[in-house]
Amino acid sequence: MDSLRSAPLVLLRLVIGWHFLYEGLTKLLYPGWTSAGYLKGSAGPLSPLFHAMGANAALVAGIDFLNVWGLTAIGAGLMLGIAIRPAAGAGMGLLALYYLAYPPFFAPFNLGGTEGTYLIVNKNLVEIFSLSVILAYPATHFGLERWWRSTRPTSPQRREALADLAGLPVLGAFVLAVLRKHGWRSFEEANLARRNGPDQFTASATVKTFQFASRSDLKGVMPAAKIGNLQISRMIMGGNLIGGWAHARDLIYVSKLVRAYHHRDKIFQTLALGESCGLNTLITNPALCGVINDYWRNGGRIQFISDCGSKDLLGAIRKSIDSGASACYIQGALADDLVKAGKFDLMHQAIDLIRTNGLPAGIGAHELRTVTASVEAGLKPDFWMKTLHNVKYWSARPGEKTCDNIWCEDPDAVVAYMKQLPQPWIAFKVLAAGAIAPKDGFRYAFENGADFICVGMYDFQIVEDVNLALDVLHGPLIRSREWRT
């Protein structure tokens, strides 16, 4: 083909090379990336195979190596015109594996945080066919490989050499774009973190306007315990703030403000800081499954417990399991409504579905009646999610059901009843949605029988809250209930 007809093929090769190279480079430069979450979240006919791969640490390490260096080498080869056909073939192979891990015909809607809706054809399949065109028509007369093989310094060859070097300006633009997006300082900090470990991690939110505790101020390691075979930190990160579900009473703008603050990168920073402080678990809604999957693909490891809050309870459980949840429970408000409606059969089905898939199953509750009625109906979850906080704050008005001001109406009765239950208890709303000081709320929850506490936190609160919880757990602690884990 003449040069004019080859130009679109060269451009196609350059843009796909750019995509591959950037995917590989970001995984290479930033420590901690792993394919484990991506593999564990696989859906479709081959998902058992990918799940087994994700559960094997040695295999995951090999897959991570092949992904990082495969993407980088394929991208560089396509962009610079070196071994174009082998690079295109290898790229098709990698993309085929990505496609089979999340085939859009079988995957639940928008699984894994994809940015579109697909039916059989998705961006991976489109790129596979694009690479097949490059494999058939590589336009090898534009690339470093032919330039390197050239031996006769004639004038025509020098002119052709300019075409062979067409990928170099694009590579230069690529480097400038990467530096503009990440900056030299980002790479330097990432390398420092790789060498010096998690103690170098510091949150960056609004650091120029006020000071807050950084990772270096952490007092110790957060203790952990088990629910079934699942190892969980005693303090669990809550997902309400990340999802934008703020209980702000009369301040109706707060939920929008919280959502504006928690953009994608801020969510990742918050989760990463929590992990670096020993918080290994997040409780969240199925609506955020895609965000968690995306965080895993970018190096995160935090496990998540899904509250399965949805009008379609069983569907939400399936989506949560397919998205890699480590445990599931019936969300508190939903469980309250199911108990009031006497729908214990649906609750039994939900618990059985979760357990059938090998996950711990729980029941949440805002009202104590939800717990007592569930026990009377023969429900035996693996854990309870029950609100617990004192009512000694100024806006607490027990009995006013229409007010968003209180979540544990009779804490003394809750403490007394939960004391007799054999299952672990995760207490939530322990700060009454920000109305109680953490040092008081944490102590109250742990002393009155909670085995774990779920706390919604902004990034600038995490280190301080962890230190306060450590003070409670490591100091004199008189519990009204024996630890259940």
Q: Identify the pLDDT of residue 35.
A: 80
Q: Identify the pLDDT of residue 217.
A: 80
| Phi, psi (rounded to 5 degrees) for 478 | -100, 105
- Domains, the chain: 3-193 (no CATH), 215-474 (3.20.20.100)
pLDDT in tens, the chain (485 residues): 455 667 788 888 888 988 998 888 877 765 556 787 678 767 778 888 988 888 888 888 899 899 999 999 999 888 888 888 899 999 999 999 989 988 877 544 433 333 456 678 888 899 999 999 989 887 655 655 555 555 444 444 544 544 555 555 655 665 666 555 544 444 444 444 444 443 333 333 333 333 445 667 888 889 999 999 899 999 999 988 887 777 777 787 888 888 888 888 888 889 988 988 899 999 999 988 888 988 888 778 899 999 999 999 999 999 999 999 999 999 999 999 999 999 999 999 999 999 999 999 999 999 999 999 999 999 999 999 999 999 988 888 776 666 678 889 899 999 999 999 999 999 999 999 889 999 999 999 999 999 999 999 999 999 999 999 999 999 899 998 999 97
* 70-107 residues labelled b (16+ CB within 10 A) or e (exposed): bbbbbbbbbbbbbbbeebbebbbebbeebbbbbbbeeb
- Sequence-distant (6+) residues with CB within 8 A of 387 are 332, 365, 366, 407, 408, 414, 427, 428, 429
Which amino acid belongs to residue 185? Answer: R
Q: Is the dihedral of CA 244, 230, 423, 474 positive or negative?
A: negative
Which amino acid belongs to residue 213? Answer: A
Q: Identify the pLDDT of residue 162.
A: 46
Q: Identify the pLDDT of residue 176.
A: 61
| Phi, psi (rounded to 5 degrees) for 284 | -155, 180
CA–CA distance, 183 with 186 (Å, rounded to integer):
5
Retrieve residue 348's tokens.
Answer: 């039994």
| Phi, psi (rounded to 5 degrees) for 235 | -105, 130
Name the packing angle between helices 344-356 and 313-322 (round to 10°): 10
Would you list the DSSP string of 6-34?
HHHHHHHHHHHHHHHHHHHHHHHHSTT--
Q: Are residues 393 and 429 in contact, defined by beta-carbon separation less than 8 angstroms?
A: no
Please report which residue ranges of 81-166 form alpha helices under DSSP H: 84-101, 123-136, 144-149, 155-164
Would you list the DSSP string of 162-184?
HHHTTHHHHHHHHHHHHHHHHHH
* 141-162 residues labelled b (16+ CB within 10 A) or e (exposed): bbbbbbbeeeeeeeeeeeebee
Q: Identify the pLDDT of residue 18.
A: 86
